[in-house]
Amino acid sequence: MTDRLPGFSTLAVHAGAQPDPTTGARVTPIYQTTSFVFNDADHAASLFGLQAFGNIYTRIGNPTTAVLEERMAALEGGTAALAVASGHAAQVVVLQQLLMPGDEFIAARKLYGGSINQFTHAFKSFGWNVAWADPDDIGSFERAVTPRTKAIFIESIANPAGSITDIEAIAEVARKAGVPLIVDNTLATPYLVRPVDHGADIVVHSLTKFLGGHGNSLGGIIVDAGTFDWSKDNKYPMLSEPRPEYHGIRIQETFGNFAFAIACRVLGLRDLGPALSPFNAFMILTGIETLPLRMQKHCENAKAVAEFLAGHSAVASVNYAGLASDRYNKLARKYAPKGAGAVFTFSLRGGYDAGVSLVSNLKLFSHLANVGDTRSLVIHPASTTHSQLDDEAKVRSGAGPDVVRLSIGIEDKEDLIADLEQALSM
């Protein structure tokens, strides 16, 4: 072998995996076990005291899940990763390491509808306050910074309209404020966008979407870029102060550039409990092997469908950053040169009623609340995912009454276009 660094597609198939040392199994087995036998009492004590790495109990770590974690860290260019039960669980675990009651974080207002809910309602009950900023106005992030700001949260390719966020500009705001930048990279996947290369300190994913890719398993992951200094000014006591539950060790001091991933595991996941099942880790690993191929097809189909819609008389506008005329096309060419993703919105001249009617007339597209499946999906956000927002907030987050969201699958694009054509003409 040469000392050539493996490329993305090679990592997608191999990173983290070895033939099973006892059986020779080539595919990573599903270690469907809750717990692991210790070698002896000393071994047990050192595992519990964080003096040695090893398997204890599947809530804290599992060998199948560990392969997924190593693979995702490699694909994102991070130092370590922690898999959890869902994308939302990843967001809770990350912020729990960073915020104390009364603290704040700044979030882009163009986000997955579920994240808007989680930040507005559930997090409020933890005493974590969200300040909203507009990803198209970098100054709005600067203006939202206060002495209690502990993090900035954005999506790389943002829900629901597939708009592209200027990650480097917001990373600069985070750097000046002395807080980490967290990027939800779900809609892009590391195949299209690598936030760590643009200044992100933490990357989170819903693995449920393009990474698993087949609409069959929930999962989430946290990737530690290893870039942030957690010890400064004692701003992040979970990482910088002695931990009473681990004989007084300090997480940052002990674990250096993967301290954040360790904190998420041994403080967050251990105590909050949203562990990923080994079976789901296996399904998602299998999905990741074909991620590059699927993303190429998703993007190619999405562009063809967006072009078709842009030329249709029932369509008022199409928001797809992959179209040369789109306001985000310049950012797309910078951050996502291989393709602008496969989730985008368009608006209908017929408004709310036309949106509702379109989703009921489509046959090949499934009407459901998910994205990133091999199958093409459609939803009318104003009557579903974003229905809890008031009218102004709907429009601000890109989910106005006339807006329809598509997630384009890997079927034949001619069939997708034919289905849209028949549904639009009804």
Ligand X SMILES: *Cc1c(COP(=O)(O)O)cnc(C)c1O
- In the block, tokens 């990350």 appear at 94
End-to-end Cα separation, the chain, in angstroms: 60
Cβ closest to ligand X, residue 209 vs residue 243 = 209
Cβ closest to ligand X, residue 204 vs residue 318 = 204
Q: How far is the CB of 65 from ligand X (least distance, A)?
A: 15
Cβ closest to ligand X, residue 149 vs residue 217 = 217
Cβ closest to ligand X, residue 281 vs residue 371 = 371
Residue 156: name the closest of 76, 36, 235, 65 by CA. Answer: 76
Q: How far apart are CA 287 and CA 58, in angstroms?
A: 22
Q: How many CA atoms lie within 13 A of 101 on its CB side?
A: 3
Q: How far is the CB of 88 from ligand X (least distance, A)?
A: 4
The residue ranges that bind ligand X (CB under 6 A) are 86-88, 112, 114-115, 155, 159, 184, 186-187, 206, 208-209, 218, 220, 371
Q: Which amino acid is at 220?
A: G
Cβ closest to ligand X, residue 218 vs residue 262 = 218
Output DSSP code: residue 350.
T
Cβ closest to ligand X, residue 315 vs residue 403 = 403
Cβ closest to ligand X, residue 206 vs residue 277 = 206
Contact (CB, 8 A) for 135 and 109: yes
Q: How far apart are CA 205 and CA 200, in angstroms?
A: 13
Residue 12, helix vs strand vs coil? helix
Q: Residue 82 is encoded by which pair of tokens?
A: 């922690």
CB under 8 A, 24+ apart: contacts of 34-41? 34/58
Using Cβ positions, the residue closest to ligand X within the complex turns out to be 87
Cβ closest to ligand X, residue 64 vs residue 185 = 185
Residue 17: name the closest of 35, 9, 29 by CA. Answer: 29
Parallel, antiparallel or unpaired: strands 181-184 and 149-155: parallel
Q: How far is the CB of 157 from ligand X (least distance, A)?
A: 9
Q: How far is the CB of 186 from ligand X (least distance, A)?
A: 4
Which ranges constitute the DSSP H helices of 81-227? 87-98, 113-117, 138-144, 167-177, 189-192
Q: How far is the CB of 207 from ligand X (least distance, A)?
A: 7
Q: How far is the CB of 241 from ligand X (least distance, A)?
A: 30
Q: How far is the CB of 269 from ligand X (least distance, A)?
A: 15
Q: How far is the CB of 218 from ligand X (least distance, A)?
A: 5
Sign (positive or negative) of CA dihedral 90, 92, 95, 96: negative
